Chains A and B, each alone.
Chain A
Amino acid sequence: MAKSSTARKEREKLSAPAKMTVTLHVNGVTKKLNLAPWTTLLDALRIHLGLTGTKKGCDHGQCGACTVLVDGRRINSCLTLAVIKDGAQVTTVEGLARDGALHPIQQAFIDHDAFQCGYCTPGQICSAVGLIAEAKAHNADAIRELMSGNICRCGAYSNIVAAIEQVISRKSGSAARERS
Protein backbone atom coordinates (compact mmCIF):
# COMPACT_ATOMS: atom_id res chain seq x y z
CA MET A 1 0.00 0.00 0.00
CA ALA A 2 2.69 2.39 1.08
CA LYS A 3 4.78 1.23 -1.83
CA SER A 4 2.10 1.84 -4.46
CA SER A 5 1.42 5.33 -3.13
CA THR A 6 5.15 6.08 -3.37
CA ALA A 7 5.12 4.78 -6.94
CA ARG A 8 2.13 6.94 -7.74
CA LYS A 9 3.88 9.96 -6.28
CA GLU A 10 6.93 9.17 -8.42
CA ARG A 11 4.72 8.96 -11.52
CA GLU A 12 3.11 12.26 -10.67
CA LYS A 13 6.52 13.82 -10.30
CA LEU A 14 7.54 12.53 -13.73
CA SER A 15 4.40 13.59 -15.55
CA ALA A 16 4.93 16.58 -17.79
CA PRO A 17 3.58 19.92 -16.58
CA ALA A 18 0.77 21.33 -18.68
CA LYS A 19 1.67 22.97 -21.95
CA MET A 20 1.27 26.70 -22.14
CA THR A 21 -0.18 28.98 -24.75
CA VAL A 22 2.44 31.32 -26.15
CA THR A 23 1.82 34.09 -28.66
CA LEU A 24 4.76 35.24 -30.75
CA HIS A 25 4.69 37.82 -33.54
CA VAL A 26 7.24 36.29 -35.88
CA ASN A 27 8.33 38.25 -38.95
CA GLY A 28 5.09 40.21 -38.78
CA VAL A 29 2.81 37.19 -38.47
CA THR A 30 1.04 36.38 -35.18
CA LYS A 31 1.57 32.75 -34.13
CA LYS A 32 -0.19 30.98 -31.27
CA LEU A 33 1.71 28.00 -29.96
CA ASN A 34 1.08 25.35 -27.35
CA LEU A 35 4.47 24.70 -25.78
CA ALA A 36 6.08 22.91 -22.86
CA PRO A 37 7.57 25.61 -20.61
CA TRP A 38 11.15 24.43 -21.19
CA THR A 39 10.95 25.01 -24.96
CA THR A 40 13.64 27.53 -25.89
CA LEU A 41 12.78 30.34 -28.27
CA LEU A 42 15.21 28.69 -30.71
CA ASP A 43 13.36 25.35 -30.62
CA ALA A 44 10.00 27.12 -30.90
CA LEU A 45 11.19 28.83 -34.09
CA ARG A 46 12.87 25.82 -35.67
CA ILE A 47 10.73 22.87 -34.56
CA HIS A 48 7.31 24.37 -33.90
CA LEU A 49 7.27 27.06 -36.59
CA GLY A 50 9.53 25.38 -39.16
CA LEU A 51 11.71 28.49 -39.42
CA THR A 52 15.02 26.68 -39.78
CA GLY A 53 16.97 29.70 -40.98
CA THR A 54 17.95 30.36 -37.37
CA LYS A 55 20.66 27.83 -36.54
CA LYS A 56 21.45 25.75 -33.50
CA GLY A 57 25.22 25.80 -33.07
CA CYS A 58 26.45 25.28 -29.53
CA ASP A 59 23.02 25.68 -27.84
CA HIS A 60 24.88 27.32 -24.91
CA GLY A 61 25.17 30.99 -25.89
CA GLN A 62 28.78 30.68 -26.96
CA CYS A 63 28.57 30.82 -30.78
CA GLY A 64 25.81 33.26 -31.79
CA ALA A 65 24.37 31.06 -34.59
CA CYS A 66 20.94 31.32 -32.94
CA THR A 67 20.89 35.14 -32.93
CA VAL A 68 17.46 36.67 -33.66
CA LEU A 69 15.94 40.08 -33.00
CA VAL A 70 13.39 40.26 -30.18
CA ASP A 71 11.55 43.57 -29.95
CA GLY A 72 14.25 44.94 -32.24
CA ARG A 73 17.25 43.79 -30.21
CA ARG A 74 19.64 40.93 -30.97
CA ILE A 75 19.66 38.07 -28.47
CA ASN A 76 20.72 34.40 -28.27
CA SER A 77 17.47 32.51 -28.84
CA CYS A 78 18.97 29.33 -27.32
CA LEU A 79 19.20 30.90 -23.85
CA THR A 80 15.66 32.09 -23.38
CA LEU A 81 12.37 30.27 -23.14
CA ALA A 82 9.60 30.94 -25.65
CA VAL A 83 7.13 31.35 -22.79
CA ILE A 84 9.22 34.17 -21.28
CA LYS A 85 8.95 36.00 -24.62
CA ASP A 86 5.16 35.62 -24.79
CA GLY A 87 3.79 38.59 -26.76
CA ALA A 88 7.15 39.62 -28.24
CA GLN A 89 8.00 40.69 -31.79
CA VAL A 90 10.57 38.27 -33.21
CA THR A 91 12.51 38.81 -36.42
CA THR A 92 14.50 35.95 -37.89
CA VAL A 93 16.67 35.87 -41.00
CA GLU A 94 13.55 34.81 -42.95
CA GLY A 95 11.90 38.14 -42.08
CA LEU A 96 14.60 40.56 -43.24
CA ALA A 97 13.88 40.80 -46.99
CA ARG A 98 11.20 43.30 -48.07
CA ASP A 99 9.02 42.76 -51.16
CA GLY A 100 11.51 40.32 -52.66
CA ALA A 101 14.49 42.64 -52.11
CA LEU A 102 17.23 41.46 -49.79
CA HIS A 103 17.99 43.47 -46.66
CA PRO A 104 21.07 45.65 -47.31
CA ILE A 105 23.08 43.51 -44.89
CA GLN A 106 22.11 40.33 -46.77
CA GLN A 107 23.15 41.95 -50.05
CA ALA A 108 26.41 43.18 -48.54
CA PHE A 109 27.26 39.65 -47.31
CA ILE A 110 26.87 38.47 -50.93
CA ASP A 111 28.82 41.42 -52.34
CA HIS A 112 31.73 40.77 -49.97
CA ASP A 113 31.62 36.94 -50.00
CA ALA A 114 31.21 37.15 -46.22
CA PHE A 115 30.74 33.43 -45.63
CA GLN A 116 32.05 30.04 -46.61
CA CYS A 117 29.95 27.16 -45.23
CA GLY A 118 27.13 29.56 -44.31
CA TYR A 119 26.09 27.93 -41.03
CA CYS A 120 26.84 30.97 -38.87
CA THR A 121 25.52 33.39 -41.51
CA PRO A 122 21.89 33.83 -40.37
CA GLY A 123 23.15 34.61 -36.88
CA GLN A 124 25.84 36.95 -38.25
CA ILE A 125 23.26 38.76 -40.37
CA CYS A 126 20.72 39.18 -37.56
CA SER A 127 23.51 40.26 -35.24
CA ALA A 128 24.71 42.83 -37.80
CA VAL A 129 21.18 44.21 -38.16
CA GLY A 130 21.04 44.58 -34.36
CA LEU A 131 24.49 46.16 -34.31
CA ILE A 132 23.52 48.80 -36.87
CA ALA A 133 20.33 49.63 -34.94
CA GLU A 134 22.38 50.07 -31.75
CA ALA A 135 24.55 52.66 -33.58
CA LYS A 136 27.62 52.10 -31.36
CA ALA A 137 30.01 50.80 -34.02
CA HIS A 138 31.83 53.73 -35.62
CA ASN A 139 34.93 51.97 -37.00
CA ALA A 140 36.21 48.53 -37.95
CA ASP A 141 37.66 47.88 -34.46
CA ALA A 142 34.26 48.57 -32.91
CA ILE A 143 32.51 46.34 -35.48
CA ARG A 144 34.90 43.50 -34.63
CA GLU A 145 34.37 43.94 -30.88
CA LEU A 146 30.60 44.30 -31.14
CA MET A 147 30.30 41.27 -33.45
CA SER A 148 32.40 39.12 -31.08
CA GLY A 149 29.30 37.18 -30.01
CA ASN A 150 29.20 35.51 -33.43
CA ILE A 151 31.82 32.85 -34.10
CA CYS A 152 32.69 31.88 -37.70
CA ARG A 153 34.74 28.70 -37.78
CA CYS A 154 35.48 29.15 -41.50
CA GLY A 155 37.13 32.45 -40.55
CA ALA A 156 35.23 34.78 -42.88
CA TYR A 157 35.65 37.59 -40.35
CA SER A 158 37.49 40.10 -42.53
CA ASN A 159 34.77 39.94 -45.20
CA ILE A 160 32.03 40.09 -42.58
CA VAL A 161 33.56 43.30 -41.20
CA ALA A 162 33.81 44.71 -44.76
CA ALA A 163 30.15 43.90 -45.45
CA ILE A 164 28.98 45.60 -42.27
CA GLU A 165 31.25 48.62 -42.88
CA GLN A 166 29.70 49.03 -46.32
CA VAL A 167 26.16 49.17 -44.94
CA ILE A 168 27.09 51.52 -42.09
CA SER A 169 28.95 53.92 -44.39
CA ARG A 170 26.14 53.96 -46.99
CA LYS A 171 23.64 54.57 -44.21
CA SER A 172 25.63 57.46 -42.72
CA GLY A 173 26.25 58.75 -46.27
CA SER A 174 22.55 58.88 -47.04
CA ALA A 175 21.85 60.45 -43.63
CA ALA A 176 24.42 63.14 -44.44
CA ARG A 177 22.77 63.74 -47.82
CA GLU A 178 19.37 64.08 -46.14
CA ARG A 179 20.79 66.66 -43.74
CA SER A 180 22.45 68.78 -46.46
Chain B
Amino acid sequence: MNNFEFSRAISVADAVRQIAADPGAKFVAGGTNLIDLIKEGVTQPSRLIDITRLELKRIEDSSDGGLRVGALVLNSDLAYHPEIEKRYPLLASAILAGASPQLRNMATTGGNLLQRTRCFYFYDTTTPCNKREPGSGCSALEGLNRMHAILGTSEHCIATHPSDMCVALAALDARVLTAGRSGERSIAFADFHRLPGDTPQIDTNLSEDEIITGVELPPNGFAKNYSYLKIRDRLSYAFALVSVAAALEIEDGVVRQARLALGGVAHKPWRDREAEAQLSGAKAAQEPFMRAAETLLSDARGFGHNDFKIELARRAIVRALGQAASAAPQSQIDKRIR
Protein backbone atom coordinates (compact mmCIF):
# COMPACT_ATOMS: atom_id res chain seq x y z
CA MET B 1 0.00 0.00 0.00
CA ASN B 2 1.07 3.59 -0.60
CA ASN B 3 1.94 5.76 2.36
CA PHE B 4 -0.84 7.74 3.93
CA GLU B 5 -1.43 9.72 7.08
CA PHE B 6 -3.93 8.44 9.61
CA SER B 7 -6.13 10.36 12.01
CA ARG B 8 -9.22 9.74 14.04
CA ALA B 9 -12.39 11.83 14.01
CA ILE B 10 -13.89 12.46 17.44
CA SER B 11 -17.19 13.95 16.25
CA VAL B 12 -19.13 14.49 13.03
CA ALA B 13 -18.06 18.15 13.06
CA ASP B 14 -14.44 17.08 13.51
CA ALA B 15 -14.76 14.60 10.62
CA VAL B 16 -16.12 17.35 8.34
CA ARG B 17 -13.36 19.74 9.43
CA GLN B 18 -10.66 17.14 8.79
CA ILE B 19 -11.89 16.13 5.33
CA ALA B 20 -12.32 19.79 4.31
CA ALA B 21 -8.72 20.48 5.35
CA ASP B 22 -7.22 17.72 3.16
CA PRO B 23 -8.67 17.30 -0.34
CA GLY B 24 -6.81 13.99 -0.75
CA ALA B 25 -8.24 12.47 2.42
CA LYS B 26 -10.89 9.76 2.66
CA PHE B 27 -13.04 8.48 5.50
CA VAL B 28 -12.54 4.87 6.52
CA ALA B 29 -14.89 2.69 8.56
CA GLY B 30 -15.37 -0.98 7.56
CA GLY B 31 -12.61 -0.67 4.97
CA THR B 32 -13.88 -3.68 3.00
CA ASN B 33 -13.77 -1.82 -0.32
CA LEU B 34 -11.43 1.11 0.37
CA ILE B 35 -8.51 -0.90 1.81
CA ASP B 36 -8.72 -3.20 -1.21
CA LEU B 37 -8.72 -0.24 -3.64
CA ILE B 38 -5.66 1.19 -1.88
CA LYS B 39 -3.86 -2.16 -2.12
CA GLU B 40 -4.63 -2.29 -5.85
CA GLY B 41 -3.37 1.26 -6.38
CA VAL B 42 -6.77 2.29 -7.75
CA THR B 43 -7.05 5.03 -5.16
CA GLN B 44 -4.21 6.71 -3.26
CA PRO B 45 -5.58 8.83 -0.43
CA SER B 46 -3.15 11.18 1.33
CA ARG B 47 -4.91 10.52 4.62
CA LEU B 48 -7.42 8.12 6.09
CA ILE B 49 -9.78 9.59 8.65
CA ASP B 50 -11.05 6.85 10.95
CA ILE B 51 -14.72 7.49 11.69
CA THR B 52 -15.40 4.20 13.47
CA ARG B 53 -15.55 5.85 16.92
CA LEU B 54 -18.36 8.25 15.98
CA GLU B 55 -21.78 7.87 17.62
CA LEU B 56 -23.58 6.80 14.45
CA LYS B 57 -24.40 3.23 15.44
CA ARG B 58 -28.05 3.44 16.47
CA ILE B 59 -31.24 2.27 14.82
CA GLU B 60 -34.11 4.38 16.13
CA ASP B 61 -37.68 5.44 15.33
CA SER B 62 -37.95 8.57 13.23
CA SER B 63 -40.59 11.22 13.80
CA ASP B 64 -42.69 10.18 10.76
CA GLY B 65 -43.04 6.57 11.89
CA GLY B 66 -40.11 5.22 9.91
CA LEU B 67 -36.66 4.20 11.09
CA ARG B 68 -33.39 6.09 11.18
CA VAL B 69 -30.30 3.93 10.69
CA GLY B 70 -26.93 5.34 11.76
CA ALA B 71 -24.21 5.38 9.09
CA LEU B 72 -21.97 3.10 11.17
CA VAL B 73 -24.55 0.36 11.78
CA LEU B 74 -22.94 -2.83 10.49
CA ASN B 75 -24.60 -4.62 7.58
CA SER B 76 -25.11 -7.76 9.71
CA ASP B 77 -26.59 -5.79 12.63
CA LEU B 78 -28.99 -4.07 10.23
CA ALA B 79 -30.05 -7.28 8.48
CA TYR B 80 -30.73 -9.12 11.76
CA HIS B 81 -32.29 -6.20 13.68
CA PRO B 82 -35.78 -7.28 14.83
CA GLU B 83 -37.44 -4.08 13.55
CA ILE B 84 -35.77 -4.45 10.15
CA GLU B 85 -36.72 -8.14 9.94
CA LYS B 86 -40.30 -7.30 10.85
CA ARG B 87 -40.95 -3.99 9.07
CA TYR B 88 -38.37 -3.95 6.25
CA PRO B 89 -37.74 -7.60 5.35
CA LEU B 90 -36.89 -6.58 1.76
CA LEU B 91 -33.90 -4.68 3.11
CA ALA B 92 -32.84 -7.54 5.39
CA SER B 93 -33.08 -9.97 2.49
CA ALA B 94 -31.05 -7.79 0.11
CA ILE B 95 -28.27 -7.34 2.69
CA LEU B 96 -28.07 -11.09 3.30
CA ALA B 97 -27.87 -11.67 -0.47
CA GLY B 98 -24.63 -9.71 -0.57
CA ALA B 99 -21.00 -10.41 0.39
CA SER B 100 -20.17 -12.90 3.17
CA PRO B 101 -20.86 -12.97 6.92
CA GLN B 102 -17.30 -11.74 7.61
CA LEU B 103 -17.70 -8.77 5.27
CA ARG B 104 -21.17 -7.98 6.60
CA ASN B 105 -19.62 -7.91 10.10
CA MET B 106 -17.27 -5.14 8.89
CA ALA B 107 -19.17 -3.17 6.26
CA THR B 108 -21.25 -0.20 7.39
CA THR B 109 -24.52 1.30 6.16
CA GLY B 110 -22.83 4.49 4.92
CA GLY B 111 -19.90 2.63 3.39
CA ASN B 112 -22.19 0.31 1.47
CA LEU B 113 -23.63 3.35 -0.32
CA LEU B 114 -20.13 4.48 -1.30
CA GLN B 115 -18.91 1.18 -2.71
CA ARG B 116 -17.18 1.53 -6.03
CA THR B 117 -17.82 -0.59 -9.07
CA ARG B 118 -16.23 -4.03 -9.38
CA CYS B 119 -15.58 -3.49 -13.13
CA PHE B 120 -12.29 -5.37 -13.65
CA TYR B 121 -10.89 -2.58 -15.85
CA PHE B 122 -11.47 -0.11 -13.02
CA TYR B 123 -9.38 -2.40 -10.80
CA ASP B 124 -6.70 -3.12 -13.43
CA THR B 125 -4.44 -0.06 -13.34
CA THR B 126 -2.67 -1.14 -16.56
CA THR B 127 -5.81 -0.53 -18.66
CA PRO B 128 -7.66 2.66 -19.64
CA CYS B 129 -10.68 3.49 -17.46
CA ASN B 130 -12.56 6.80 -17.41
CA LYS B 131 -13.77 6.18 -13.88
CA ARG B 132 -10.26 5.66 -12.51
CA GLU B 133 -8.46 8.05 -14.86
CA PRO B 134 -10.84 10.51 -16.56
CA GLY B 135 -10.21 10.85 -20.29
CA SER B 136 -8.24 7.63 -20.65
CA GLY B 137 -11.09 5.72 -22.31
CA CYS B 138 -13.37 2.80 -21.41
CA SER B 139 -11.87 -0.66 -21.85
CA ALA B 140 -15.15 -2.43 -21.17
CA LEU B 141 -17.06 -1.00 -24.17
CA GLU B 142 -15.32 -3.40 -26.51
CA GLY B 143 -13.70 -5.61 -23.91
CA LEU B 144 -15.00 -8.32 -21.61
CA ASN B 145 -18.32 -6.82 -20.55
CA ARG B 146 -20.35 -9.76 -19.27
CA MET B 147 -20.84 -8.07 -15.87
CA HIS B 148 -21.60 -4.63 -17.26
CA ALA B 149 -24.58 -2.30 -17.53
CA ILE B 150 -27.47 -2.44 -19.97
CA LEU B 151 -29.35 0.68 -18.80
CA GLY B 152 -28.30 4.32 -18.37
CA THR B 153 -24.85 3.76 -19.87
CA SER B 154 -22.75 6.38 -21.64
CA GLU B 155 -19.99 6.19 -24.22
CA HIS B 156 -17.60 6.89 -21.33
CA CYS B 157 -18.56 4.15 -18.88
CA ILE B 158 -20.68 1.01 -18.67
CA ALA B 159 -19.82 0.04 -15.08
CA THR B 160 -22.46 -1.19 -12.63
CA HIS B 161 -23.09 -0.31 -9.01
CA PRO B 162 -22.27 -3.44 -6.97
CA SER B 163 -24.51 -3.07 -3.90
CA ASP B 164 -27.48 -5.27 -3.04
CA MET B 165 -28.48 -3.23 -0.02
CA CYS B 166 -28.81 -0.08 -2.13
CA VAL B 167 -31.25 -1.81 -4.50
CA ALA B 168 -33.63 -2.40 -1.59
CA LEU B 169 -33.07 1.14 -0.26
CA ALA B 170 -33.92 2.51 -3.72
CA ALA B 171 -37.12 0.45 -3.85
CA LEU B 172 -38.10 1.64 -0.36
CA ASP B 173 -37.55 5.34 -1.21
CA ALA B 174 -35.01 5.72 1.59
CA ARG B 175 -33.27 9.03 2.22
CA VAL B 176 -29.56 9.60 2.75
CA LEU B 177 -28.69 11.90 5.66
CA THR B 178 -25.48 13.91 5.40
CA ALA B 179 -23.52 16.59 7.22
CA GLY B 180 -21.06 19.01 5.68
CA ARG B 181 -19.61 22.50 6.03
CA SER B 182 -22.83 24.02 4.73
CA GLY B 183 -25.03 22.06 7.12
CA GLU B 184 -27.12 18.92 7.05
CA ARG B 185 -28.96 17.48 4.06
CA SER B 186 -31.50 14.74 3.45
CA ILE B 187 -31.08 13.37 -0.08
CA ALA B 188 -33.71 11.23 -1.83
CA PHE B 189 -32.15 7.85 -2.61
CA ALA B 190 -32.83 8.22 -6.33
CA ASP B 191 -30.79 11.46 -6.33
CA PHE B 192 -27.84 10.08 -4.38
CA HIS B 193 -26.08 7.93 -6.98
CA ARG B 194 -25.37 9.24 -10.48
CA LEU B 195 -25.39 7.92 -14.00
CA PRO B 196 -21.95 7.96 -15.66
CA GLY B 197 -22.61 10.61 -18.35
CA ASP B 198 -19.29 12.30 -19.14
CA THR B 199 -18.14 12.29 -15.49
CA PRO B 200 -18.03 8.57 -14.59
CA GLN B 201 -15.33 9.29 -11.99
CA ILE B 202 -18.06 10.83 -9.77
CA ASP B 203 -20.27 8.08 -8.31
CA THR B 204 -22.55 10.14 -6.06
CA ASN B 205 -23.87 13.65 -5.43
CA LEU B 206 -22.16 13.79 -2.04
CA SER B 207 -19.97 16.92 -1.75
CA GLU B 208 -16.29 16.47 -1.01
CA ASP B 209 -16.66 17.82 2.51
CA GLU B 210 -19.77 15.80 3.34
CA ILE B 211 -20.14 12.70 5.48
CA ILE B 212 -23.07 10.30 5.47
CA THR B 213 -24.56 10.27 8.96
CA GLY B 214 -27.44 7.87 8.35
CA VAL B 215 -30.20 6.47 6.21
CA GLU B 216 -33.88 7.13 6.83
CA LEU B 217 -36.50 4.52 6.00
CA PRO B 218 -40.04 5.75 5.34
CA PRO B 219 -42.91 4.15 7.31
CA ASN B 220 -44.05 1.84 4.49
CA GLY B 221 -41.73 -1.17 4.39
CA PHE B 222 -43.88 -3.31 2.05
CA ALA B 223 -43.41 -6.10 4.58
CA LYS B 224 -46.19 -8.32 3.23
CA ASN B 225 -45.53 -8.55 -0.51
CA TYR B 226 -41.88 -8.29 -1.38
CA SER B 227 -38.98 -10.28 -2.82
CA TYR B 228 -35.27 -9.74 -3.45
CA LEU B 229 -34.15 -12.02 -6.25
CA LYS B 230 -30.45 -12.08 -7.10
CA ILE B 231 -29.10 -13.94 -10.12
CA ARG B 232 -25.34 -14.56 -10.22
CA ASP B 233 -22.66 -16.89 -11.56
CA ARG B 234 -22.41 -18.83 -8.28
CA LEU B 235 -25.12 -19.12 -5.67
CA SER B 236 -23.32 -17.32 -2.85
CA TYR B 237 -20.66 -14.67 -2.36
CA ALA B 238 -20.78 -13.22 -5.88
CA PHE B 239 -21.93 -9.93 -7.37
CA ALA B 240 -25.25 -9.82 -9.18
CA LEU B 241 -25.61 -10.30 -12.90
CA VAL B 242 -29.14 -9.04 -12.34
CA SER B 243 -31.00 -8.49 -9.09
CA VAL B 244 -34.57 -7.34 -8.53
CA ALA B 245 -36.17 -5.75 -5.48
CA ALA B 246 -39.93 -6.05 -5.90
CA ALA B 247 -42.44 -4.58 -3.45
CA LEU B 248 -46.19 -4.51 -3.87
CA GLU B 249 -49.28 -3.31 -2.05
CA ILE B 250 -52.16 -5.53 -3.09
CA GLU B 251 -55.89 -5.21 -2.35
CA ASP B 252 -58.34 -7.82 -3.60
CA GLY B 253 -55.85 -9.07 -6.18
CA VAL B 254 -55.21 -5.56 -7.54
CA VAL B 255 -51.88 -3.77 -7.21
CA ARG B 256 -52.33 -0.47 -5.34
CA GLN B 257 -48.68 0.48 -5.33
CA ALA B 258 -45.60 -1.10 -6.88
CA ARG B 259 -41.90 -0.60 -6.39
CA LEU B 260 -39.33 -2.16 -8.64
CA ALA B 261 -35.57 -1.61 -8.41
CA LEU B 262 -32.83 -3.47 -10.27
CA GLY B 263 -29.19 -4.14 -9.39
CA GLY B 264 -26.35 -5.25 -11.65
CA VAL B 265 -27.78 -3.48 -14.68
CA ALA B 266 -26.75 0.16 -14.29
CA HIS B 267 -24.36 2.66 -12.72
CA LYS B 268 -26.92 3.10 -9.92
CA PRO B 269 -29.83 1.10 -8.52
CA TRP B 270 -32.35 1.31 -11.36
CA ARG B 271 -35.90 2.54 -10.82
CA ASP B 272 -38.47 3.10 -13.58
CA ARG B 273 -41.48 5.18 -12.45
CA GLU B 274 -43.36 4.47 -15.69
CA ALA B 275 -43.17 0.71 -15.20
CA GLU B 276 -44.29 1.13 -11.57
CA ALA B 277 -47.19 3.42 -12.52
CA GLN B 278 -48.27 0.90 -15.12
CA LEU B 279 -48.54 -1.76 -12.42
CA SER B 280 -50.72 0.24 -10.05
CA GLY B 281 -54.36 -0.57 -10.69
CA ALA B 282 -53.40 -3.71 -12.63
CA LYS B 283 -54.13 -7.25 -11.54
CA ALA B 284 -51.33 -8.87 -9.54
CA ALA B 285 -50.72 -11.40 -12.29
CA GLN B 286 -48.17 -12.62 -14.84
CA GLU B 287 -49.50 -10.57 -17.77
CA PRO B 288 -49.12 -7.08 -16.20
CA PHE B 289 -45.80 -8.15 -14.69
CA MET B 290 -44.53 -8.98 -18.17
CA ARG B 291 -45.71 -5.63 -19.52
CA ALA B 292 -43.94 -3.79 -16.68
CA ALA B 293 -40.74 -5.69 -17.48
CA GLU B 294 -41.08 -4.69 -21.16
CA THR B 295 -41.47 -1.04 -20.19
CA LEU B 296 -38.54 -1.09 -17.80
CA LEU B 297 -36.26 -2.71 -20.36
CA SER B 298 -37.44 -0.83 -23.44
CA ASP B 299 -34.23 1.24 -23.60
CA ALA B 300 -31.92 -1.59 -22.50
CA ARG B 301 -28.86 -2.13 -24.67
CA GLY B 302 -26.17 -4.80 -24.50
CA PHE B 303 -22.50 -4.52 -25.42
CA GLY B 304 -21.85 -8.05 -26.62
CA HIS B 305 -21.02 -10.32 -23.72
CA ASN B 306 -23.80 -8.86 -21.57
CA ASP B 307 -26.60 -9.04 -24.17
CA PHE B 308 -28.06 -11.97 -22.22
CA LYS B 309 -28.77 -9.67 -19.28
CA ILE B 310 -31.74 -8.10 -21.08
CA GLU B 311 -33.65 -11.37 -21.28
CA LEU B 312 -32.36 -12.42 -17.84
CA ALA B 313 -33.62 -9.15 -16.34
CA ARG B 314 -36.99 -9.56 -18.03
CA ARG B 315 -37.47 -13.01 -16.51
CA ALA B 316 -36.08 -11.98 -13.11
CA ILE B 317 -38.51 -9.04 -12.91
CA VAL B 318 -41.52 -11.24 -13.70
CA ARG B 319 -40.31 -13.91 -11.26
CA ALA B 320 -39.64 -11.45 -8.42
CA LEU B 321 -43.01 -9.72 -8.88
CA GLY B 322 -44.67 -13.13 -8.82
CA GLN B 323 -42.84 -14.06 -5.62
CA ALA B 324 -43.87 -10.74 -4.07
CA ALA B 325 -47.51 -11.12 -5.16
CA SER B 326 -47.76 -14.59 -3.68
CA ALA B 327 -46.00 -13.52 -0.46
CA ALA B 328 -43.30 -16.10 -1.14
CA PRO B 329 -40.09 -14.05 -1.10
CA GLN B 330 -36.88 -15.56 -2.43
CA SER B 331 -34.97 -17.30 0.39
CA GLN B 332 -31.35 -16.23 0.76
CA ILE B 333 -30.53 -19.65 2.27
CA ASP B 334 -32.33 -22.04 -0.06
CA LYS B 335 -31.46 -20.47 -3.41
CA ARG B 336 -33.71 -22.63 -5.58
CA ILE B 337 -35.84 -20.25 -7.60
CA ARG B 338 -39.50 -21.07 -7.47
Contacts and interface: CB of A to CB of B under 8 A. Distances in A.
Interface string A57-68: 001110010010
Nearest to A137: B333
A40 B31 CA distance: 10
A94 interface: no
Contact of B48 (A37, A67, A73): A37
A37 B106 contact: no
Interface stretch (A26-34, A46-54, A143-151, A167-175): A143-151
B5 A37 contact: yes
B236 A79 contact: no
A127 interface: yes
Contacts of B80: 136
Contacts of B236: 144-145, 148
Q: Which of A14, A17, A145 has the most CB of B within 10 A?
A: A145
B100 interface: yes
A46 to B, nearest CB: 16
A37 B4 contact: yes
Give the interface SS of chain A, mostly helix, strand, loop or mixed.
mixed
Nearest to B34: A79
A37 B6 contact: yes
A74 interface: yes
A134 interface: yes
Contacts of B30: 79-80
**Which bucket holds chain A's interface residue count?**
35 or more
B40 to A, nearest CB: 8
B286 interface: no
Nearest to A85: B52
B237 interface: yes
A60 B1 CA distance: 12
B101 interface: yes
Interface in B29-51: 30-32, 35-36, 38-39, 48, 50
User: Would you list the 6 A-B pairs with minimal beta carbon distance, nearest first?
Assistant: A149-B100, A37-B6, A148-B236, A38-B1, A148-B237, A149-B102
Given A61-B36, A80-B31, 11 more contacts: A17-B6, A38-B1, A38-B38, A40-B35, A64-B100, A64-B102, A79-B35, A79-B103, A80-B30, A148-B101, A149-B103
Interface of A: 14, 16-17, 20, 36-38, 40, 59-61, 64, 67, 73-76, 78-81, 83-84, 127, 130-131, 134, 136, 141-142, 144-150
